[in-house]
Amino acid sequence: MSESDDFKALSPQPVAPTLSKVADVARQSAPYLARLLHQHQNALDLSGESALVAQCHAEIDAVREWAKSVKSADVLGPALRRAKRRVHLILSLLDLSGAWSQGEVTKALTQLADAALQASLASVLAKRDVQGDGLFMFAFGKMGAFELNYSSDIDLAAFFDPDVFSGSSKGPQDTTIRVVRDVCALMDAQTEEGYVFRTDLRLRPDPSATPIAVSTRRAEVYYESVGQNWERMAWIKARPCAGDMAAAADFQKLLSPFVWRRHLDYWAVADVHAIKRMINAKVGDPALGEIDCDVKLGPGGIREIEFFAQTQQIILGGRDPRLRAPATLEALGALVEADVVTQVDAEALNAAYQGLRGLEHRIQMLNDAQTHTYPTSSDQRAAVAALMGYADVSDLDSALLATRMRVHSIYENLFVSDDGTVDSSGAGNLVFTGVEDDPGTLATLRSMGFSDPSRVVAAFRRWHFGHVPATRTARGQALLTNLTPRLLQAMAATGEPSTAFAHFERFFEGLNAGVHLLSMLSIEDSLLSDLVSSLAVAPRLAQTLARRPALLESLITRQAEEGFVLEPGAGFEAAMDAARRCHRDRAFLIGHGLLNGLIAAREAGGAWTDLAREMVQAMADAAERETERRFGPAPGPWTVMAMGSFGGGELTAGSDLDIIVLYDVTGDAAGTDWFTRFTQRLTTALSVPTAEGLLYEVDMRLRPSGRSGPVAVRLSSFERYQNSEAWTWEHMALTRMAYAAGDVSLADRAIDIARGAIDGRKLQPNIAADVDDMRERLRREKAPAGTWDIKLMQGGLIDIEFFAQKRLLLCGGKGAIAPNTYAALQYLAEQDQAEASDVAALQAAWTFQTSLRQVLKLALSETPSEPAFSEGLKSRLCRAVGLQRFEDVEGTLSRHYDTVMQIV
């Protein structure tokens, strides 16, 4: 994109005609420079520019000499601080007078940093009596490109060649760490004389997991295996700056194939483009018009110019060595020469870069602060305008705005796709590369609703460094980079982005691999929002999905809806694993359908129960085959009976299974051992964890005599027990008995026995009192956890179930076995055992409460309290019962509790 040639870039002007008058302006406008002038006025030669230039070179040369004539740290530290202050003052005057260009100023500042670092390293090595062969340091960023500004940190990375650097008696690694720590302390330490340079070592390989000095072997392995594209861009500006320069040059040559790839694969190119998109990719960014802009990181700022060059260098520089220039302005010139950037755009960016860097310098001259923000205070802006050589603040404001708009318009052109649209998420800054939090990104995340943006940035940075299995590969990292804006927008769309992020973080970091999942999410837009919203509402799903992310594929293929089919000849253990895999797929689909309204909450119990019955039948068949293989054929028929919620078709996510096993044989004791062994294998098949996880917890305490009775019960013993020994509560349990697996005719006989036993005692006077006593005992022993403990609350599901079961025991007859509570209430109304209005009220309460409980049991692993509900969960609860507002859900639930208690 080119614009008319009348564009006037921001441009620093000489502030006064003579050096003495320049000093006056500096004294009046910049407190930091005023202090330096006060301290060093008599030492300055202001007779002419050449004299001041000579003095600057002399100061830097003196520091270089200190690397040769080694000084102790006690002497070197103060000397470096004084030299730095003098050089700062001289360069400021040369800068403000226009005698030196911005490039000359930054080069001299960098030369001073190099000399100071070399002198500090020599001092520390001498103090520790260590030979420095094989130990070296690289400068990155502005120092690496000779572009340091007045208050820059210096970005460094220290390396040692373990084949050359011997260190001391403590070994090369430990010695190098101690040396680098001492060097940085000498440079960083703040005294009454200030500091030399603040050092930043976070551009070394994987800084959160590596020591402050890294062996060349470890670095080479890191860059070859998980080095990221933003690190390749960082190495564009890297150069040896201290230590064994020959060893450093060899190491840099070794890394050249990593930095400058002749052929980039699709994922590397996509990753670079994604990095570009995440930096000020918002078209017409309103921040362009803000006065207190960040001239470095804000839209239209220095970083956009740097990235404009670097992203194209990293993609094209492997094939064209001309593009490998570290300095930004040199890179722009090379891009023009290679016919990648137009001359007009390059000239505009060149002028803008120099103007913005000049403004950045003058902002930092005020107080020697590492800031890049154009001040809003009228006094400070007037001071900056004076240092820029602008007579009027409004002229400076206008020039700054015009410059930033021009830069941003050229930068945006990098995002224009073939159809002419801007390839942008529209979210604003979303930068997770590098080693420090980007202010624009923190602001963007805050505007999206994230309560702790720094935590989000830290997590994404951790993922980009390959600290989780999902992003151990370069392709996984590139996919994540490309997906990040959409992922964060999906979290924001839940209404509770911080909650959504926390659940996604647990899920993502629990994955064993990630390329396949990230690829699916990149291709399927709906799948991404589906996943994020589901995790936000139901954290327990995160655990399931982290163990088996391929489950998400079932949302697309729906293959898991097919029935369970075991391969012919599969052994017992193979059958157990296969059942668990099938169950996991099917349970996920049921849960997802319930959570997203594809399965009505009132129908979910039937879906969970159908799945459980299929699993019990499959495992019973496997247990039978295994028992027959070892002990011969079954001596008679057997059946597995479902009890409790399983029998009633009212299971929820994570429910236990209540079952009993019955069998029938001829003869007094024939076959008992076979059926015991079969039952033991069945409970093993259902409840023992395998490598594929857990299927169900199994409870067999509802069999005759409970834990003290045999695990498999002979039908004749079952009949005798139910007619002569069973307690009232055991007959209550019988009302919910249903067939689950095995011989159907045997199951029918068992149900007839149960019906007869109930019918035979329906006139006993103690039945109602027994049931009421049990309910009171349960109320004392298992108090509800709160309003949302829907099962145990007074007026909750237990009270409805007890009402139905008591009336069934009193009624008897053909319908005495009515496993489903809703159906049992209907039977009672038909038999005139309950008022029709009461039954309708109880059925309405039962439907409402079970619908809520289905969602809660899926979403949360523990009994919830209302304050813990996310907004997403509240909306799912509303949908489950057909209400618009959560307050209406709470009110209706309370009214149902009251109604149930009035009836029961």
Q: pLDDT tens across 228-280, in order?
A: 888 888 999 999 999 999 999 999 999 999 999 877 655 566 666 666 656 54
Q: pLDDT tens across 3-34, in order?
A: 445 667 899 999 999 999 999 999 999 999 99
Q: pLDDT tens across 509-527, in order?
A: 888 777 888 888 887 777 8
Consecutive H or E run containing 280? none
Q: pLDDT tens across 364-393, in order?
A: 999 998 899 999 899 999 999 999 999 999
Q: What is the model's pLDDT at position 530?
A: 80
Give the integer Cα–Cα distance in Å for 686 and 576. 8
pLDDT beyond 70 at 305: yes
β-partners of residue 200 are 155
pLDDT beyond 80 at 866: no
pLDDT beyond 80 at 870: no
Q: pTM for the whole thing?
A: 0.66
Q: 201 and 184 in contact (C-beta within 8 Å)?
A: yes
pLDDT beyond 50 at 417: no
Helix (H, G, I), strand (E, B) or coil at 435: coil
* Beta pairing, strands 657-663 & 712-714: parallel
Residue 449 zone, left/alpha/beta (φ > 0; ψ -120 to 50; rest): left
Average pLDDT value for residue range 550-560: 62
Q: Write a three-state SS string for 645-698.
A: HHHCCCCCCCCCEEEEEEECCCCCCCCHHHHHHHHHHHHHHHHCCECCECCCCE
Residue 436 zone, left/alpha/beta (φ > 0; ψ -120 to 50; rest): beta
Q: pLDDT tens across 674-686, in order?
A: 999 999 999 999 9
C-alpha dihedral, 524 to 528 to 533 to 535, nearest 10°: 120
Average pLDDT value for residue range 481-508: 88
Give the integer Cα–Cα distance in Å for 26 and 91. 12
pLDDT beyond 80 at 292: no
Q: pLDDT tens across 711-763, in order?
A: 999 999 999 999 999 999 999 999 999 999 999 999 999 999 999 999 888 77
Q: What is the model's pLDDT at position 535?
A: 82
Average pLDDT value for residue range 288-303: 83
Mean pLDDT check: name the lowest of 155-159, 161-165, 670-674, 752-756: 670-674
In 10 A of CB 871, how many CB atoms? 14
Q: What is the model's pLDDT at position 273?
A: 63
User: For the chain, what percent of residues have pLDDT higher than 90?
Assistant: 59
pLDDT beyond 70 at 669: no
863 or 108: which carries more pLDDT confidence? 108
Q: What is the model's pLDDT at position 416?
A: 52
Q: 36 and 88 in contact (C-beta within 8 Å)?
A: yes
C-alpha dihedral, 274 to 279 to 285 to 287, nearest 10°: 160
Q: How confident is the model at residue 285 (pLDDT cuts 50, 70, 90)?
A: low
- Measured in Å, how far apart are the chain's first and last C-alpha atoms? 78
**Nearest of 661, 658, 569 to residue 622 by alpha carbon:** 569
Q: How confident is the model at residue 411 (pLDDT cuts 50, 70, 90)?
A: confident
Helix ranges, 282-327 (H): 302-316
Tell whether the torsion through CA atoms of 240, 244, 249 and 254 is positive or negative.
negative
Q: How confident is the model at residue 865 (pLDDT cuts 50, 70, 90)?
A: low
Average pLDDT value for residue range 473-493: 85
350 or 2: which carries more pLDDT confidence? 350
pLDDT beyond 50 at 219: yes
Distances in Å between the alpha carbon of 497 and those of 40, 428, 501, 631, 859? 55, 17, 6, 58, 17
Q: How confident is the model at residue 692 (pLDDT cuts 50, 70, 90)?
A: confident
Average pLDDT value for residue range 144-151: 94
Consecutive H or E run containing 136? strand 135-140
